[in-house]
Structure 1
């Protein structure tokens, strides 16, 4: 029954929203600790690795269940191809926290924040989360690579800031294949996300300083004047 399948899919996604958002945060934290503190005691390192793998397993299970209960599985896979990409790139999963925040906003008939502020919040948080994940992965790939220029996490953050803002100083560049692939992704995301933040902020400023008579919905002058 297609309608029953759609209802089950919506119920599963609604039920898993909060747990998977928390699991995304746990995954990011445990991965960050393992990357930034490489000299952890073996017991702690193994525990963090186990938690990281367990949360990734939840992501895989969630995707498999959603595909299984979808009315048309192949159509669902084609339309939600990004979900499949995220399964293989779990560092992108923390973006589910933004999805959860959006769902909380949608519970109100009238959003508490204006459109411009919401766009700035979503785009800004997306840039922070994706930037943090990208800097971690590049640091993990580059620090021991032959001929690498990015040897510390501070250098990785500096490289990220200059790349995501499309400044591109070129003083630090990744040398590994995966590092360069991430760099290309950061460039595209930088243009989209930073552009969205700047554009929304400009629109918000214009609205804030616009006088009442300059608003589009303001009544025109009386006839005969």
Structure 2
């Protein structure tokens, strides 16, 4: 693994700023949620939340510009970081701005040293939480002032976001405004996409396990066949050596004496 100095400048910058950006994302989410959840909050608190939103947006904009300057392939960077760019150039669309929380979580996950399956699980979990928060706050902000709306509290918004993301849709709560319905469409498509990612992840895990088991079985089978060939070769050598020694022993054994050479029973010499 290359050292810190050997890494590209963009990677070094992202490694150093991932934790501050995550902290700023949490601050932004809180500043975004307080005026929606507590509309009767003091004016000073609402102003502080507004200032915090713009300060965090400025930090995100500066981070994007720094990474764009440090990268070697700027066009490729813009195409693959469109969510960051959208959160920077569209600061007036406050519901869309909250997507920067999800983007920051993805950035942290990309830089984390984790296995592929764990990293993908982290992406999915972070996306679910981020979209759930985004959908709840966004729909509450646009539906609570609607005369015909039935999403008036944070609990209703969270319940609606959860049923919408899972594509269950009980129908007890539903948006009545055009922007609310647009948010619903986005959540439904996101839920379907996340479900597909989870299903593909599980299938990939099972396939990897099966392939690993098959590879281990093939390796063991090859080892057994190799050992069987070695045993056969050893048997052939033993048989060859055993046969050669038997032939040599038979050739070296003394021959039996002839009858003429046998002594007579009386010991007087051979018979005439």
TM, length-normalised to structure 2: 0.66
User: Where does residue 48 of structure 1 map in the other structure?
Assistant: 49
2:111 to 103, 106, 121: 103
Deviation at 1:133, TM superposition (A): 1.4
Which structure 2 residue ranges, 5 or more long, are not aligned? 1-6, 91-95, 229-272
**1:79-90 residue pairs with structure 2 within 5 A?**
79-87=80-88, 88=90, 89-90=96-97
Q: 2: distance between equivalents of 1:214 and 1:186?
A: 37
Q: Does 1:161 align with 2:162?
A: yes
Report the count of equivalent residues. 209
Structure showing greater Rg: 2
TM alignment of 1:141-152, pairs within 5 A: 141-152=142-153
Aligned residue in 2 for 1:91: 98
Are 1:216 and 2:214 an aligned pair?
yes
Indicate the RMSD between aligned Cα atoms, in angstroms: 2.9
Q: 1:217 to 1:135 in 2, by over 3 A?
A: same
Show the counterpart of 1:19: 20
Counterpart position of 2:260: none
Q: What CA distance in whole angstroms lies between the structure 2 residues aligned with 1:121 and 1:183?
A: 24
Contact 1:124 1:193 in 2 (8 A): no
The superposition leaves residues 174-212 of structure 1 with CA deviations (integer Å, 9 ceiling, x where unpaired) of 12222222211111110121332344346657888x8xx
> What is the CA-CA distance between 1:75 and the residue it aligns to?
4.9
Q: Give per-residue Cα distances to partners, 1:95-123, cap 9 Å, x unaligned.
A: 213422442325xxxx4xxx444423320
In 2, Cα distance between equivalents of 1:118 and 1:11? 20
> Given the alignment of the two structures, is residue 64 of structure 1 paired with residue 59 of structure 2, yes or no?
no
SS at match of 1:217: helix
| Equivalent position SS for 2:98 | helix
Measured in 1, the distance between the counterparts of 2:37 and 2:66 equals: 34
1:124 aligns with 2:125: yes
Of residues 87-96 and 75-84 in structure 1, the stretch that sits farther from structure 2 once superposed is 75-84
Taking the aligned partners of 1:120 and 1:129, their CA distance within structure 2 comes to: 14
In the alignment, does 2:190 pair up with 1:182?
no
Quick one: distance in 1 between partners of 2:129 and 2:56?
Answer: 21
